[in-house]
Amino acid sequence: DIQMTQSPSFLSASVGDRVTINCKASQNINKYLNWYQQKLGEAPKRLIYNTNNLQTGIPSRFSGSGSGTDYTLTISSLQPEDFATYFCLQHNSFPFTFGSGTKLEIK
């Protein structure tokens, strides 16, 4: 199985800050990497698919980049509604595997 190492686990930031979250795969996942936002009690919501494609309806302050084994989610200017938990998902090969999550908190 492909292991996904996500960092940091916790991130404290302020409204307006630029933040980055990273995922590293244990092998090449060919850009089959998605990013999700999850709020308490809700299902995950896909933000970015296949590394850098913005899901319809998601604000452009969210962006993704990467290749091979290393991938990044960037939020360019944090808004109050962005404080949540973020997960990456590799879907290059089954079983698909998630990163362990990054909890983004208000500083």
Partner 1 sequence: QVQLKESGPGLVQPSRTLSLTCTVSGFSLTSYGVSWVRQPPGKGLEWIAAIWSGGSTDYNSALKSRLSISRDTSKSQVLLKMNSLQTEDTAMYFCARGTKDWGQGVMVTVSS
Least separation in angstroms between residue 10's CB and partner 1 is: 13
Q: Which residues pair with 70 in a beta bridge?
A: 24, 67
Q: Is 98 in the site for partner 1 (CB under 8 A)?
A: yes
Cβ proximity to partner 1: between 24 and 45 the closer is: 45
Could you give the angle at the alpha carbon of 12 between the alpha carbons of 98 and 5, nearest 5°?
25
Residues in 52-81 that interact with partner 1 by CB under 8 A: 55
CB 21: neighbour CB atoms within 10 A?
22
Least separation in angstroms between residue 87's CB and partner 1 is: 6
CB 92 within 8 A of CB 32: yes
Stretch that binds partner 1, among 11-19, 23-31, 66-74, 97-105 (CB under 8 A): 97-105
